[in-house]
């Protein structure tokens, strides 16, 4: 007999080898119906796992949302794979993991599968779920596993990559897969799922490999949760910056210009200019020196910085001109290093801040391009701060405060600080010696602890020259993106042999802090579009007011007078003098998400007033022209 300690602390004795499912059944039939998997001595395992020693047992139910969600989605990926092999004979299966909001599975399918086929695949999945097939786990020796999956080259590759001699297999009906699990006890536990989309994906994420068909789906514990998630997806579609950017005339792409190369339309340029003015004004107040440097550089510059050795694959190919080779720059630090090096600096000047709204270019894989969130040409709100080692803490605090001030101005609340560290086992990705890395990581951690901000650590996310603090945001459509970053760098000052004159009159090596507040201006606009659903605050709206006369013949003169007042006070406006119905004009202004629609009729002309309707509201408000102008000025002053 072995002793089993339950979650409530009670002890139950069972025969050695008893399956967890038998214990759960003895405890409660209702608990068995809810059970997803279990924790045995804090390890998540299948319900059919035998208990062979004194153990702690905890039954995982839908109330344990994180674990149960991952398990049912991993199991649903297998359900999808079984349906695919039934429907498309000869289908080979790649990998099918659970992901943050569901699952996917990659397939090599004998014929094309499109989104129109998802309903058919779903129907087959529901049929298999109704069959309530038992899901069983067992192990095979590698040689036996390879024999079992000899027909599937992808499974053979996965088996070869396993270190252990034993390979875990999961089987349900005629379907089997190489998997560590755990999984639910039977296919009947998988009821509330939905297939979402079809995409192409390189096998194992390597662009040198063939493209497989990736099918995404999601599975939930209850119909209500699934319904809520599908409503969330619809909301995200309405917020997608690619849709809003086109609707509001913010940006465009054209393959004739080039994939991943955004062109900013008049409304978008206004937003970009206002954001640039906003952040530049803040930086000037804090002592930043703004500069302008070329968007290309000599290859030797990037060899000196280390980018050529560590980042070349993400750069555009070099261009040979006369006896030199140039490349489009992926970032701006090398230019700023050379600029600092060109003059003699005293410790009294430090920290010395160089800032730039700079054009950068990176050769992102075509499959990674995402509107203006991820492009091949973008602008960075970039800066490099050259300081003494003793100033690191104060500079970091200053930059962190600027980030928080900006986020407060825009009302951002859902963000996390990530301490991005190197992977010491990846010698190719990072350069520099261990001592400098250990020092910089230790100092950055100490600064964060002094700041008292909550953060989490991420191994392998550091820049190749140093650790960094990234501000991670969850976009309204569910993307996890880096918005702002602060990076500590001892390496580039060494490589560029940067110096300053210290208190003793001797040459000393500065430390460089790289920082981006708005980050990529393009990505920031994408995030802002999705956060606001395209409803910019008044100070940032490309068009702040639309003037709509009730009757063009009788009211145009007064509208023209308003135009002159607005021009004088730098209010951004449009007039709608088209021969269209008034209701149509108002609805169109709403569609364009213009903050104020001004309807000019007899009363406004007679009284010299403005009657406006705010975007998204039905109520109309009448004010004097002076009051309206002051309201717009106040919005600019207070970033409303």
pLDDT for the residue 582:
87
Query: Are β-strands 166-172 and 98-99 bridged in parallel, bridged antiparallel, or unpaired?
Result: unpaired
3-state DSSP call for residue 66? helix
pLDDT, mean of residues 565-589? 92
Closest to 18 (Cα-Cα) out of 35, 1, 32, 34:
1
How many angstroms separate the CA atoms of 213 and 68, rounded? 27
pLDDT for the residue 101:
93
Residues comprising the chain, all counted: 640
- Cβ–Cβ < 8 Å for 268, 276: no
- Helical axes 266-285 vs 392-410, angle rounded to 10°: 140
How many angstroms separate the CA atoms of 168 and 594, rounded? 59
- Cβ–Cβ < 8 Å for 335, 298: no
String of DSSP letters for 548-590: EESSHHHHHHHHHHHHHHHHHTT--EEE--SSS-HHHHHHHHH
The neighbouring-strand residues paired with 263 are: 252
pLDDT, mean of residues 589-593? 91
- Cβ–Cβ < 8 Å for 161, 94: no
Q: How far is CA 533 from CA 166, 239, 242, 590, 591, in A?
A: 52, 5, 11, 13, 11
How many angstroms separate the CA atoms of 133 and 510, rounded? 66
**Model confidence at 425: pLDDT above 80:** no
3-state DSSP call for residue 86? helix
Looking at the chain, the whole-number percentage of residues with pLDDT higher than 70 is 99
**Model confidence at 509: pLDDT above 80:** yes
* Prior bond of 351 cis (ω within 30°): yes
pLDDT, mean of residues 447-459? 83
The catalytic residues are 333, 362, 380, 382, 384, 468, 514
Domains along the chain with CATH numbers = 2-61 (3.10.20.30), 66-239 (3.30.980.10), 251-532 (3.30.930.10), 545-637 (3.40.50.800)
pLDDT (tens digit per residue) in 66-121: 999 999 999 999 999 999 999 999 999 999 999 989 999 999 999 999 999 999 99
* Residue/partner pairs of 27-33 with CB below 8 Å, 24 or more apart: 27/59, 31/59, 31/61
pLDDT for the residue 249:
95
- Cβ–Cβ < 8 Å for 11, 23: no
pLDDT for the residue 484:
93
Higher pLDDT, 619 or 480: 619
The neighbouring-strand residues paired with 217 are: 103, 195
Buried b (16+ CB within 10 A) or exposed e, 554-565: ebeebbeebeee
Assign 558 a pLDDT band (cuts: 50, 70, 90): very high
- Region of residue 148 (phi > 0: left; psi between -120 and 50: alpha; otherwise: beta): alpha
* Prior bond of 544 cis (ω within 30°): no
pLDDT for the residue 371:
92
Assign 488 a pLDDT band (cuts: 50, 70, 90): confident
Task: Specify the DSSP class assigned to residue 462.
Answer: S
Assign 198 a pLDDT band (cuts: 50, 70, 90): very high
Token pair of 459 as six digits: 């191994």
Token pair of 513 as six digits: 């802090």
- Cβ–Cβ < 8 Å for 593, 248: yes
Assign 391 a pLDDT band (cuts: 50, 70, 90): very high
pLDDT, mean of residues 337-365? 95
Token pair of 432 as six digits: 């520099």
pLDDT for the residue 427:
65
Token pair of 69 as six digits: 């969600």
52: number of CA atoms within 13 Å, CB side?
Answer: 3
How many angstroms separate the CA atoms of 546 and 572, rounded? 9
Higher pLDDT, 463 or 415: 415
pLDDT (tens digit per residue) in 277-325: 999 999 999 999 999 999 999 999 999 998 898 888 899 999 999 989 9
pLDDT, mean of residues 356-370? 90
- Cβ–Cβ < 8 Å for 197, 216: yes
pLDDT (tens digit per residue) in 393-421: 899 889 999 999 999 999 888 888 898 88
pLDDT for the residue 420:
86
How many angstroms separate the CA atoms of 225 and 207, rounded? 36
Assign 510 a pLDDT band (cuts: 50, 70, 90): very high
3-state SS, 384-395, equals EEEECHHHHHHH
Least confident among 37-46, 425-434, 589-598 = 425-434
pLDDT for the residue 431:
67
Q: What are φ and ψ of residue 367, in 5° steps?
A: -70, -15
Higher pLDDT, 106 or 452: 106
Task: Specify the DSSP class assigned to residue 84.
Answer: H
- Cβ–Cβ < 8 Å for 384, 488: no
Token pair of 562 as six digits: 């308003």
Q: How far is CA 16 from CA 23, 565, 619, in A?
A: 12, 88, 73
- Cβ–Cβ < 8 Å for 187, 80: no
How many angstroms separate the CA atoms of 210 and 225, rounded? 36
- Compute the mean pLDDT over every residue in the chain, rounded to the nearest whole number: 92
pLDDT (tens digit per residue) in 285-297: 999 999 999 999 9
pLDDT (tens digit per residue) in 123-173: 999 999 999 999 999 999 999 999 999 999 999 999 998 988 899 999 999
- Cβ–Cβ < 8 Å for 326, 299: yes
- Cβ–Cβ < 8 Å for 211, 95: no
The neighbouring-strand residues paired with 574 are: 546
């Amino acid at each position: 007999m072995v002793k089993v300690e339950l979650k409530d602390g009670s002890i139950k004795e069972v025969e050695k080898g008893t399956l967890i499912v038998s214990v759960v059944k003895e405890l409660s039939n209702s608990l068995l119906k809810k059970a997803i998997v279990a924790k045995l001595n804090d390890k998540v395992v299948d319900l059919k796992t035998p208990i062979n020693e004194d153990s702690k047992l905890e039954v995982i139910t839908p109330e344990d949302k994180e674990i149960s969600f991952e398990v049912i989605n991993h199991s649903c990926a297998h359900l999808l794979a079984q349906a695919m092999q039934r429907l498309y004979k000869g289908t080979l299966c790649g990998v099918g993991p659970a992901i943050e909001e569901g699952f996917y599975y990659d397939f090599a399918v004998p014929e094309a599968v499109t989104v129109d086929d998802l309903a058919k695949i779903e129907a087959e999945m529901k049929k298999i779920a109704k069959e309530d097939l038992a899901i069983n786990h067992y192990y095979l020796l590698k040689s036996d596993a390879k024999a079992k999956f000899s027909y599937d080259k992808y499974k053979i590759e996965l088996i070869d990559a396993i270190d252990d001699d034993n390979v875990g297999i999961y089987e349900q009906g005629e379907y089997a897969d190489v998997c560590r699990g755990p999984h639910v006890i039977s296919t009947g536990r998988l009821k509330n799922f939905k297939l979402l989309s079809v995409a192409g994906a390189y096998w194992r994420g390597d662009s040198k490999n063939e493209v497989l068909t990736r099918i995404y789906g999601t599975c939930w514990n209850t119909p209500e949760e699934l319904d809520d998630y599908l409503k969330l997806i619809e909301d995200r579609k309405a917020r997608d910056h690619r849709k809003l950017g086109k609707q509001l005339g913010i940006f465009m792409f054209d393959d004739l210009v080039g994939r991943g190369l955004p062109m900013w339309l008049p409304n978008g340029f206004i937003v970009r200019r206002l954001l640039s003015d906003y952040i530049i004004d803040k930086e000037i107040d804090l002592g930043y020196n703004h500069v302008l440097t070329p968007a290309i550089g000599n290859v030797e510059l990037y060899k000196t910085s280390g980018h050529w050795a560590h980042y070349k694959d993400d750069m555009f190919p070099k261009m040979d001109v006369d006896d030199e080779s140039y490349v489009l720059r992926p970032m701006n630090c090398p230019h700023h290093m050379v600029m600092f090096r060109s003059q003699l600096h005293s410790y009294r000047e430090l920290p010395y801040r160089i800032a730039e709204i700079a054009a950068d270019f990176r050769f992102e894989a075509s499959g990674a391009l995402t509107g203006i969130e991820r492009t091949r040409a973008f602008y960075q709100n970039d800066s490099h701060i050259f300081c003494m080692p003793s100033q690191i803490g104060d500079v970091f605090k200053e930059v962190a405060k600027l980030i928080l001030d900006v986020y407060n101005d825009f009302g951002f609340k859902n963000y996390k600080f990530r301490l991005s560290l190197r992977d010491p086992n990846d010698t190719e990705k990072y350069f520099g010696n261990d001592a400098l890395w250990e020092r910089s990581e230790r100092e950055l951690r100490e600064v964060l602890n002094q700041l008292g901000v909550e953060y989490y650590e991420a191994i392998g996310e550091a820049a190749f020259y140093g650790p960094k603090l990234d501000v991670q945001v969850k976009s309204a459509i569910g993307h996890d993106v880096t918005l702002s970053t602060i990076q500590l760098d001892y390496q580039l000052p060494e490589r560029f042999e940067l110096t300053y004159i210290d208190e003793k009159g001797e040459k000393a090596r500065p430390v460089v802090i790289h920082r981006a507040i708005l980050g990529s201006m393009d990505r920031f606009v994408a995030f802002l579009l999705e956060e606001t659903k395209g409803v910019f605050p008044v100070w940032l709206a490309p068009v702040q007011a639309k003037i709509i006369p009730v009757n063009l013949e009788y009211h145009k003169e007064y509208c023209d007078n308003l135009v002159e007042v607005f021009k004088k006070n730098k209010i951004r406006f449009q007039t709608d003098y088209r021969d269209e119905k008034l209701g149509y004009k108002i609805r169109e202004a709403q569609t364009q998400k213009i903050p104020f629609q001004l309807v000019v009729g007899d009363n406004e002309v007679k009284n010299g007033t403005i009657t406006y309707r705010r975007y998204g509201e039905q109520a109309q408000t009448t004010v004097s022209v002076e009051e309206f102008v002051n309201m717009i000025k106040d919005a600019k002053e207070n970033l409303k």
